Amino acid sequence: MAFGKFARKIGGWKAQKEGKNWEAHWRFKCQRSSISVIRIPDGCQKMFMGGRLVLKAVKSPFDWILGFGNQTAFVDTKSIDADRLVHSKIIPHQVLAMETLARHGNVCGYVVFFRPVNKVVFVNSNLLAKLSPRSSIGHEDGLDLGTLEAFDPKFLFQSAK
């Protein structure tokens, strides 16, 4: 394996580990804030290929369903090693699903941890849908929930008011 390929693989493993740690921290903070939390796992689709049963990974439309008071939120969590969320990191089927749910008064969007600036920010689905190719969203464009150590996920629900 070429060194560049190996370095990318190591970088991918590191990013996956950081993402898992961020999600565990997110769940912990939500639970400590008396927010009901349901994690949506990625699913799979059964297909027959060449006479064999094959499982194909299917992405979910969001990572989390949250409940607080009489409000519901549908969010996807992102942890990025940059100070801007680029358009290419936004997943169209997620934004479409979130936009549909937001029309009914639900809180929908991405909760992004911008690691270089230590900011946790909520970016609603409306802003995500309006983002054009070759553009990006900075931590200052969304609702600031706080630093990694001190963010309050309940602020997410105040964004709908």
The domain that holds 22 is classified in CATH as 3.40.1350.10
And the tokens for 25? Answer: 């921290």
pTM for this entry: 0.85
Kindly report, residue by residue over 2-45, the tens digit of the pLDDT: 656 656 666 566 667 877 899 999 999 999 999 999 999 877 78
DSSP single-letter state for residue 159: T
Number of domains in the chain: 1
Query: Do the beta carbons of residue 73 and residue 157 sit within 8 Å?
Result: yes
- Residues 120-155 have pLDDT tens digits of 999 999 999 999 888 999 999 999 999 999 999 999
115 lies in which domain range? 3-158
- 58 with 43: CB under 8 angstroms? yes
